[in-house]
């Protein structure tokens, strides 16, 4: 699909400098652009590229002062990064535009399917499922009984949603993700074995949430595991039973959150963070990658790091001390030797 600079400028509410009729048919990074591609410049350290390349169109900030002539057509906008993000969203929507129901799908007769759906081959839709309008269910997705999925949500190939779970509007669940599997609940017995504790709750995922590939959100033992509006979960994350995650919290890959922990809104957890169960993490907390949270964090908007985690500035000072330990050990050994020699002439 091709677009002119004039069409793109109209969409972005920008101003064209150059040929308004120039055509582009792809988006690219600025260093990989060519005459048929659309790219952008937001970071000043990449500015030299716009004088070297011959991209079809470059989206730039309206206040950028050019140091040299450029060969490409420019579109000036208030914020080039935000504008290009909007273009990426549009491009993604066009690329993923699918409608209809493929052959070889199982849809229970009691299921309710909204308008303009897409249901791919070998998908399974269970009893009493309710799908909103414009929901996309890609091939080999499993939707268990009594599941509800809101308007505009997308489940990519191989995603699984177990029975009774609730998915909000405009939610994206990537391939291999599992929503509503049993929580890790076992009761120890006197003979050293374990009884499985039935997990009869569900998972509630609110609107505008994204769940990465191969991430698992366990159902509650009783009640609900809750993921609030706008939460973004990266790939390969474990969210245990009865966890609650506040709105617009972001969690990076390979993080594990243990059962019944409550995470506030606008929290950022870096990759490979471990969080123990039955604690709370305050609003606005930021946690460095590979940290271990072993107790509740009650102060809002603080940074933490290390394992076990400390306030971030303390952790940085600790790292400095760690690096000095070999030298301190050497000096201590010398002092001990001198003291021993002095006491034993």
What pLDDT shows up at residue 91? 85
Looking at the domain assignment, is residue 345 inside a domain?
A: no
Please provide residue 115's backbone torsions phi and psi, each rounded to the nearest 5 degrees. Answer: -75, 150
Is residue 171 within 8 A of residue 208, CB to CB? The reply is yes
pLDDT digits (tens, 9 = 90+) for 174-205: 999 999 999 999 999 999 999 999 999 999 99
Does residue 293 share a domain with residue 214? Answer: yes
Looking at the domain assignment, is residue 153 inside a domain?
A: no
Task: Give the largest Cα separation in the chain, rounded.
Answer: 97
Looking at the domain assignment, is residue 111 inside a domain?
A: no
Looking at the domain assignment, is residue 330 inside a domain?
A: no
Does residue 173 share a domain with residue 88? Answer: no
pLDDT digits (tens, 9 = 90+) for 50-82: 999 989 999 999 999 999 999 999 999 999 999
- 136 CA to centre of own chain: 19
Is residue 93 within 8 A of residue 18, CB to CB? The reply is no
**How many CB atoms neighbour CB 280 within 10 A?**
15
Domain span at residue 282 reads 159-308
Looking at the domain assignment, is residue 21 inside a domain?
A: yes
From 69, 95, 121, the end of a domain falls on: 95
DSSP letter at 30?
G
Regarding pTM above 0.95, the answer is: no
From 62, 95, 128, the end of a domain falls on: 95
193 Cβ neighbours under 8 A, 6+ residues apart: none
In this predicted structure, the answer to whether residue 324 has a pLDDT above a threshold of 90 is: no
**How many CB atoms neighbour CB 85 within 10 A?**
13
Does residue 88 share a domain with residue 167? Answer: no
Does residue 178 share a domain with residue 54? Answer: no
**CA dihedral (7, 11, 17, 22) positive or negative:** negative
171 Cβ neighbours under 8 A, 6+ residues apart: 149, 150, 153, 154, 205, 207, 208, 209, 210, 211
Does residue 182 share a domain with residue 54? Answer: no
Helix 5-12 with 80-95: angle, nearest 10 deg? 110
Does residue 163 share a domain with residue 301? Answer: yes
Does residue 289 share a domain with residue 176? Answer: yes
Looking at the domain assignment, is residue 268 inside a domain?
A: yes
Is residue 57 within 8 A of residue 22, CB to CB? The reply is yes
Does residue 304 share a domain with residue 163? Answer: yes
pLDDT category at 288 given cuts 50, 70, 90 is very high
Looking at the domain assignment, is residue 277 inside a domain?
A: yes
In this predicted structure, the answer to whether residue 289 has a pLDDT above a threshold of 90 is: yes
**How many CB atoms neighbour CB 329 within 10 A?**
10
Does residue 55 share a domain with residue 193? Answer: no
- Token pair listed for 90: 């549009």
Does residue 173 share a domain with residue 90? Answer: no
Looking at the domain assignment, is residue 100 inside a domain?
A: no
Does residue 297 share a domain with residue 221? Answer: yes
pLDDT category at 146 given cuts 50, 70, 90 is very high
Does residue 176 share a domain with residue 292? Answer: yes
Query: How many separate domains does the chain show?
Result: 2
| Active site residues per annotation | 241
Instruction: Give the CA distances from residue 226 to residues 130, 131, 145, 204, in Å, rounded to whole numbers and listed in that order.
Output: 19, 20, 19, 5
Cα–Cα distance for residue pair 29/88, rounded to 1 Å: 12
**How many CB atoms neighbour CB 34 within 10 A?**
13
- Helix (H) / strand (E) element for 5: namely helix 5-12
pLDDT above 90 covers what percent of the chain? 85
Instruction: Give the least confident one: 23-37, 200-214, 247-261, 326-340.
Output: 326-340
From 59, 75, 95, the end of a domain falls on: 95
CATH of the domain at 167: 2.160.10.10
pLDDT category at 218 given cuts 50, 70, 90 is very high
Mean confidence (pLDDT) of the chain: 95
In this predicted structure, the answer to whether residue 345 has a pLDDT above a threshold of 80 is: no
User: Looking at residues 244-259, what average pLDDT do you find?
Assistant: 99
Cα–Cα distance for residue pair 153/96, rounded to 1 Å: 12
- 296 CA to centre of own chain: 23
Please provide residue 336's backbone torsions phi and psi, each rounded to the nearest 5 degrees. Answer: -65, -40
CATH of the domain at 23: 3.40.1390.10
């Amino acid at each position: 699909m091709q677009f002119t600079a004039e069409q793109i400028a109209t969409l972005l509410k920008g101003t064209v400098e150059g040929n308004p009729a120039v055509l582009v048919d792809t988006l690219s990074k600025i260093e990989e652009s060519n005459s048929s591609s659309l790219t952008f410049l937001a970071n000043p350290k990449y500015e030299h590229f716009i004088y070297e390349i011959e991209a079809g169109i470059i989206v730039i900030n309206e206040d950028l002062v050019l140091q040299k002539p450029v060969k490409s057509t420019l579109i000036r906008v208030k914020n080039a990064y935000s504008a290009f993000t909007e273009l990426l969203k549009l491009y993604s929507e066009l690329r993923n535009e699918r409608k209809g129901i493929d052959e070889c799908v199982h849809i229970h007769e009691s299921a309710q399917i909204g308008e303009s759906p897409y249901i791919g081959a070998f998908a399974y839709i269970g009893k009493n499922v309710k799908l909103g309008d414009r929901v996309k269910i890609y091939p080999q997705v499993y939707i268990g009984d009594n599941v509800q999925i809101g308007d505009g949500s997308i489940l990519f190939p191989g995603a699984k949603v177990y029975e009774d779970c609730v998915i909000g509007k405009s939610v994206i669940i990537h391939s291999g993700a599992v929503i509503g599997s049993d929580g890790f609940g076992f009761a120890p017995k006197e003979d050293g074995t374990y009884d499985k504790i039935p997990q009869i709750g569900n998972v509630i995922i609110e609107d505008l949430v994204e769940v990465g590939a191969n991430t698992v959100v366990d159902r509650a033992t009783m009640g609900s595991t809750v993921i609030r509006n706008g939460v973004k979960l990266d790939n390969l994350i474990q969210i245990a039973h009865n966890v609650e995650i506040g709105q617009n919290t972001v969690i990076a890959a390979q993080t594990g959150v243990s059962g019944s922990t409550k995470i506030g809104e606008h929290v950022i957890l870096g990759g490979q963070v471990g969080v123990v169960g039955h604690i709370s993490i305050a609003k606005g907390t930021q946690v460095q990658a590979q940290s271990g949270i072993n107790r509740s964090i009650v102060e809002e908007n603080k940074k933490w790091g290390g394992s076990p985690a400390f306030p971030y500035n303390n952790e940085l000072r600790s790292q400095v001390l760690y690096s000095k330990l070999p030298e301190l050990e050497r000096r201590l050994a010398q002092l001990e030797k001198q003291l021993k020699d002095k006491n034993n002439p």
